[in-house]
Amino acid sequence: MGAVITGWGKCRPPLSLTNADLATLVDTDDEWISERTGISERGICHVETTDMAEVAAHHALAAAGLSATDLDLIVMATVTPEISCPSNACVLQERLGAVNAGAFDLNAACSGFVYGFASATSMVASGVARRILLVGVEKLHFVLDYRDRNTCVIFGDGAGAVIIEHSDEPDVGVLGVDLGADGPAGSTMVIPTLGTRGELSTFRDPSMHRLHFEGQAVYKIAVKGMTDSVTRALGRASLTADDIDLVVPHQANLRIIKAATSRLGVPESKVMVNIETHGNTSAASIPMALCDALDQGRVAPNDTIAITAFGGGVTWGSVIFRWGDRVARLQTSDATLPAPTGDVFDVLAANREFYSSYHEENSDSSDV
């Protein structure tokens, strides 16, 4: 019994933060950002993580022709949960009315969707569940310092979801998997204050709460990590890069995507890229890119697809799978986020205010 994707959906927030907008907030410009990242704009969410997940889920359910009560399990991959307990997957279960579904969150940072996909397809293939909703969702702007041009230009918010079901079709489903981690390298990407470390306090220190991101180190590890991971997954599937019809990589950085796929020997025509208008949305990036690939007619029945990612942890993962026979939605949904009441600068105002003391202190100390 194979496990295939039968539904897909995404939620890209209506507010966009363009490179021109960022140039008014930090010392940067469109040319600097585009050259280093391939990004022109990114979505900024004015509501919460679960709101985006709910919209993406409704679209995925409609595409599969299912109702929420048909689900056996909900898995949510995120590094920016709305709350710690109950899990965000449980909150989504309530929102959807998925009364027959179990639910849990999964955190593997940018590799979260790949880890979730490997887990969900294994559960379906083994008979543990028949229909699973897998969501990748992030509200990354919440942890970004919009006075730090090395991080704030990269990330965006969004959600993507897929429905995974059993299939009796021959030769479809997962062909090869590779998951890995390198804990000692985890210090290259850290969000330190969304956990229990330290003392109880209502005060958050801006110097600690900032996303710590070592760009050059991440680049080197990411290119090698994704290249080696896809190679191992292909080997386990007894395939080569020539057998891949489409690679849907984590949309980390355009230079990383190009370097990794070039090393694999995969031509750009077989690589799905949407980072220009979405930015790096961590666990949401692969399902959002997959939705766009389907909308653009880049997935055909029985295509061999590779998804691959690298993220904080350090984690990495790749799955090689063969698509089923359907690439069109059975139904559509009109689900959407509520209209924002202000502009993107209104949403980011709290971030700017929170981190202002950190920059004032650093500026004062540098003047001594």
Strand order in the sheet with 158-167: 2-11, 158-167, 131-138, 73-77, 102-106
Q: Is 250 a catalytic residue?
A: yes
The single residue of 110, 141, 152, 278 carrying the catalytic annotation is 110
- Determine the Cα–Cα distance for residues 143 and 154; give it in Å rounded to an integer: 12
Give the phi and the psi of residue 266 in degrees, each rounded to 5: -95, 125
Strand partners, 1: none
Residue indicated by tokens 């020997």:
265
DSSP secondary-structure letter at 169? Answer: S
Cα gap 221→20, rounded to integer Å: 30
Distance CA 359, CA 361 (A): 5
Burial zone of 125 (CB within 10 Å; 0-12 exposed, 13-18 middle, 19+ buried): middle
**Residue 266, SS3 per DSSP:** coil
Decide: 162 and 317 in contact? Cβ < 8 Å: no
The catalytic position among 250, 253, 274, 291 is 250
| HSE (side-chain half, CA atoms, 13 Å) at 50 | 17
Name the catalytic one among 45, 280, 291, 351: 280
* Sheet containing strand 315-322, strands side by side: 173-181, 315-322, 304-311, 246-249
| Catalytic residue flag (residue 212) | no
Active site residue 280: yes
Residues sharing a CB contact under 8 Å with residue 170, sequence separation 6 or more, in sequence order: none
- Distant-in-sequence, close-in-space partners of 112: CB < 8 Å, separation ≥ 6: 77, 78, 79, 106, 136, 282, 283, 309, 311
What dihedral do alpha carbons 198, 199, 204, 210 form, nearest 10°? 0
Catalytic residue positions, numbered: 110, 250, 280
